[in-house]
Amino acid sequence: MKTKLKQIWFDFFKFPKQILFHPFDGYEEFKRYEKGRMKVAVIFMLLFAFFRIFEFQYEGILINPNNPLELNSLEEIFAVALLIFLFTVGNWSVTTLMEGKGKYKEILMVTGYALFPIIMIGYPAVIISNFLTLEEMAFYTLVMGIAYALAAWMLFMGILNIHQYGLGKTIIAFIATFLAMAVMMFIGLLFFDLIQQFISFIASIYRELNLRY
Protein backbone atom coordinates (compact mmCIF):
# COMPACT_ATOMS: atom_id res chain seq x y z
CA MET A 1 0.00 0.00 0.00
CA LYS A 2 2.81 2.38 0.91
CA THR A 3 4.60 1.65 -2.38
CA LYS A 4 1.43 2.31 -4.33
CA LEU A 5 0.90 5.64 -2.57
CA LYS A 6 4.49 6.62 -3.37
CA GLN A 7 3.91 5.75 -7.03
CA ILE A 8 0.72 7.84 -7.10
CA TRP A 9 2.58 10.74 -5.46
CA PHE A 10 5.36 10.47 -8.03
CA ASP A 11 3.03 10.15 -11.04
CA PHE A 12 0.56 12.89 -10.12
CA PHE A 13 2.70 15.46 -8.32
CA LYS A 14 6.46 14.89 -8.13
CA PHE A 15 7.11 14.12 -11.81
CA PRO A 16 4.80 16.87 -13.20
CA LYS A 17 6.49 19.31 -10.79
CA GLN A 18 9.88 18.17 -12.08
CA ILE A 19 8.73 18.82 -15.67
CA LEU A 20 7.49 22.27 -14.67
CA PHE A 21 10.70 23.43 -12.99
CA HIS A 22 13.24 21.34 -14.95
CA PRO A 23 11.59 20.92 -18.37
CA PHE A 24 14.62 19.69 -20.31
CA ASP A 25 15.50 16.94 -17.81
CA GLY A 26 11.83 16.20 -17.15
CA TYR A 27 10.84 15.79 -20.77
CA GLU A 28 14.01 13.80 -21.44
CA GLU A 29 12.80 11.27 -18.86
CA PHE A 30 9.26 11.67 -20.20
CA LYS A 31 10.25 10.69 -23.75
CA ARG A 32 13.39 8.56 -23.51
CA TYR A 33 12.63 6.66 -20.30
CA GLU A 34 8.83 6.73 -20.78
CA LYS A 35 8.07 8.03 -17.28
CA GLY A 36 4.98 9.83 -18.55
CA ARG A 37 1.71 7.98 -18.01
CA MET A 38 -1.31 8.24 -20.30
CA LYS A 39 -3.67 7.64 -17.38
CA VAL A 40 -2.16 10.65 -15.58
CA ALA A 41 -2.61 12.85 -18.65
CA VAL A 42 -6.23 11.74 -19.07
CA ILE A 43 -7.02 12.35 -15.39
CA PHE A 44 -5.47 15.83 -15.64
CA MET A 45 -7.69 16.54 -18.66
CA LEU A 46 -10.78 15.37 -16.75
CA LEU A 47 -9.79 17.44 -13.71
CA PHE A 48 -9.38 20.48 -15.97
CA ALA A 49 -12.83 19.92 -17.47
CA PHE A 50 -14.32 19.66 -13.97
CA PHE A 51 -12.34 22.75 -12.96
CA ARG A 52 -14.10 24.71 -15.71
CA ILE A 53 -17.42 23.60 -14.23
CA PHE A 54 -16.22 24.30 -10.68
CA GLU A 55 -14.99 27.77 -11.67
CA PHE A 56 -18.24 28.57 -13.50
CA GLN A 57 -20.30 27.74 -10.44
CA TYR A 58 -18.16 28.58 -7.41
CA GLU A 59 -15.88 31.46 -8.39
CA GLY A 60 -16.23 34.47 -6.08
CA ILE A 61 -19.39 36.44 -6.71
CA LEU A 62 -17.43 39.70 -6.96
CA ILE A 63 -15.63 38.51 -10.09
CA ASN A 64 -17.85 35.75 -11.49
CA PRO A 65 -19.98 37.04 -14.42
CA ASN A 66 -21.70 33.67 -14.89
CA ASN A 67 -25.15 32.67 -13.73
CA PRO A 68 -24.82 29.24 -12.01
CA LEU A 69 -28.34 28.38 -13.20
CA GLU A 70 -27.10 28.58 -16.80
CA LEU A 71 -24.36 26.00 -16.24
CA ASN A 72 -24.28 23.23 -18.85
CA SER A 73 -21.76 20.66 -17.61
CA LEU A 74 -21.82 18.60 -20.81
CA GLU A 75 -21.15 21.72 -22.87
CA GLU A 76 -18.10 22.59 -20.74
CA ILE A 77 -16.72 19.04 -20.96
CA PHE A 78 -17.33 18.95 -24.72
CA ALA A 79 -15.59 22.32 -25.17
CA VAL A 80 -12.47 21.10 -23.34
CA ALA A 81 -12.45 17.78 -25.24
CA LEU A 82 -12.87 19.59 -28.57
CA LEU A 83 -10.07 22.06 -27.82
CA ILE A 84 -7.68 19.26 -26.83
CA PHE A 85 -8.66 17.23 -29.91
CA LEU A 86 -8.12 20.16 -32.27
CA PHE A 87 -4.75 21.06 -30.74
CA THR A 88 -3.34 17.54 -30.64
CA VAL A 89 -4.52 16.59 -34.14
CA GLY A 90 -3.44 19.96 -35.51
CA ASN A 91 0.00 19.72 -33.95
CA TRP A 92 0.48 16.10 -35.01
CA SER A 93 -0.49 16.87 -38.62
CA VAL A 94 1.77 19.93 -38.79
CA THR A 95 4.82 18.43 -37.05
CA THR A 96 4.61 15.31 -39.21
CA LEU A 97 5.31 17.57 -42.20
CA MET A 98 8.01 19.42 -40.22
CA GLU A 99 9.93 16.22 -39.37
CA GLY A 100 8.87 16.27 -35.73
CA LYS A 101 9.94 13.28 -33.64
CA GLY A 102 6.87 13.21 -31.39
CA LYS A 103 4.09 10.66 -31.77
CA TYR A 104 0.41 11.54 -31.39
CA LYS A 105 0.31 9.71 -28.05
CA GLU A 106 3.19 11.85 -26.77
CA ILE A 107 1.52 15.08 -27.95
CA LEU A 108 -1.68 14.08 -26.14
CA MET A 109 0.23 13.24 -22.97
CA VAL A 110 2.20 16.51 -23.06
CA THR A 111 -1.08 18.41 -23.43
CA GLY A 112 -2.52 16.62 -20.41
CA TYR A 113 0.57 17.16 -18.25
CA ALA A 114 0.61 20.86 -19.18
CA LEU A 115 -2.69 21.30 -17.30
CA PHE A 116 -0.96 20.44 -14.00
CA PRO A 117 -0.40 24.08 -12.83
CA ILE A 118 -4.01 25.06 -13.53
CA ILE A 119 -5.29 22.10 -11.51
CA MET A 120 -2.90 22.64 -8.59
CA ILE A 121 -3.44 26.40 -8.39
CA GLY A 122 -6.96 26.76 -9.81
CA TYR A 123 -9.07 24.76 -7.35
CA PRO A 124 -7.75 26.40 -4.13
CA ALA A 125 -7.71 29.83 -5.84
CA VAL A 126 -11.41 29.57 -6.75
CA ILE A 127 -12.28 28.59 -3.17
CA ILE A 128 -10.24 31.48 -1.73
CA SER A 129 -11.86 33.92 -4.20
CA ASN A 130 -15.08 33.65 -2.18
CA PHE A 131 -13.37 35.24 0.84
CA LEU A 132 -11.63 38.13 -0.94
CA THR A 133 -12.69 41.75 -1.09
CA LEU A 134 -13.05 43.62 -4.38
CA GLU A 135 -9.61 45.22 -3.93
CA GLU A 136 -8.03 41.81 -3.31
CA MET A 137 -9.49 40.27 -6.47
CA ALA A 138 -6.51 41.64 -8.42
CA PHE A 139 -4.34 39.07 -6.60
CA TYR A 140 -6.74 36.28 -7.60
CA THR A 141 -6.61 37.40 -11.23
CA LEU A 142 -2.80 37.50 -11.03
CA VAL A 143 -2.60 34.02 -9.53
CA MET A 144 -4.89 32.55 -12.20
CA GLY A 145 -2.87 34.35 -14.88
CA ILE A 146 0.30 32.75 -13.50
CA ALA A 147 -1.37 29.31 -13.53
CA TYR A 148 -2.31 29.61 -17.19
CA ALA A 149 1.12 31.05 -18.05
CA LEU A 150 2.84 28.08 -16.38
CA ALA A 151 0.56 25.71 -18.30
CA ALA A 152 1.50 27.44 -21.55
CA TRP A 153 5.18 27.17 -20.57
CA MET A 154 4.88 23.42 -19.93
CA LEU A 155 3.05 22.91 -23.22
CA PHE A 156 5.61 24.95 -25.18
CA MET A 157 8.59 23.17 -23.63
CA GLY A 158 6.88 19.81 -24.08
CA ILE A 159 6.33 20.34 -27.80
CA LEU A 160 9.90 21.62 -28.14
CA ASN A 161 11.37 18.57 -26.46
CA ILE A 162 9.28 15.71 -27.82
CA HIS A 163 9.72 16.91 -31.40
CA GLN A 164 13.37 17.81 -30.77
CA TYR A 165 12.95 21.29 -32.24
CA GLY A 166 14.80 24.50 -31.63
CA LEU A 167 13.12 27.64 -30.30
CA GLY A 168 12.33 29.17 -33.70
CA LYS A 169 10.96 25.97 -35.18
CA THR A 170 8.77 25.41 -32.12
CA ILE A 171 7.24 28.88 -32.49
CA ILE A 172 6.58 28.19 -36.19
CA ALA A 173 5.04 24.82 -35.24
CA PHE A 174 2.66 26.52 -32.80
CA ILE A 175 1.61 29.13 -35.37
CA ALA A 176 1.03 26.39 -37.94
CA THR A 177 -0.90 24.37 -35.33
CA PHE A 178 -3.26 27.27 -34.61
CA LEU A 179 -3.80 27.74 -38.35
CA ALA A 180 -4.54 24.01 -38.69
CA MET A 181 -7.01 24.26 -35.80
CA ALA A 182 -8.77 27.18 -37.53
CA VAL A 183 -8.99 25.22 -40.79
CA MET A 184 -10.40 22.15 -39.01
CA MET A 185 -12.98 24.29 -37.21
CA PHE A 186 -14.01 25.92 -40.50
CA ILE A 187 -14.34 22.55 -42.25
CA GLY A 188 -16.26 21.14 -39.28
CA LEU A 189 -18.70 24.05 -39.22
CA LEU A 190 -19.13 23.80 -42.98
CA PHE A 191 -19.76 20.05 -42.72
CA PHE A 192 -22.38 20.44 -39.98
CA ASP A 193 -24.05 23.25 -41.90
CA LEU A 194 -24.28 21.02 -44.99
CA ILE A 195 -25.67 18.18 -42.88
CA GLN A 196 -28.25 20.53 -41.38
CA GLN A 197 -29.28 21.77 -44.82
CA PHE A 198 -29.52 18.19 -46.10
CA ILE A 199 -31.72 17.16 -43.15
CA SER A 200 -33.92 20.21 -43.71
CA PHE A 201 -34.21 19.32 -47.41
CA ILE A 202 -35.23 15.72 -46.60
CA ALA A 203 -37.72 16.98 -44.00
CA SER A 204 -39.27 19.42 -46.49
CA ILE A 205 -39.67 16.62 -49.08
CA TYR A 206 -41.27 14.42 -46.43
CA ARG A 207 -43.75 17.18 -45.48
CA GLU A 208 -44.54 17.81 -49.14
CA LEU A 209 -45.26 14.15 -49.74
CA ASN A 210 -47.50 14.03 -46.69
CA LEU A 211 -49.49 17.02 -47.96
CA ARG A 212 -49.89 15.52 -51.44
CA TYR A 213 -50.71 11.95 -50.41
pTM of the entire structure?
0.88
Q: Which of 87, 151, 74, 76 is nearest to 114 (CA)?
A: 151
Q: How many domains does the chain have?
A: 1
Q: Cα–Cα distance between 49 and 64 in angstroms, integer?
A: 18
| pLDDT by residue, tens only, the chain of 213 residues | 778 888 888 889 999 999 999 999 899 888 888 888 999 999 999 999 999 999 999 888 888 888 777 888 888 899 999 999 999 999 999 999 998 888 999 999 999 999 999 999 999 999 999 998 888 888 999 999 999 999 999 999 999 999 999 999 999 999 999 999 999 999 888 888 888 887 877 877 777 777 666
Domain of residue 205: give its range.
Answer: 2-212
Q: In which region does residue 22 sit, left (phi positive, over 0), alpha (psi from -120 to 50) or beta (all else)?
A: beta
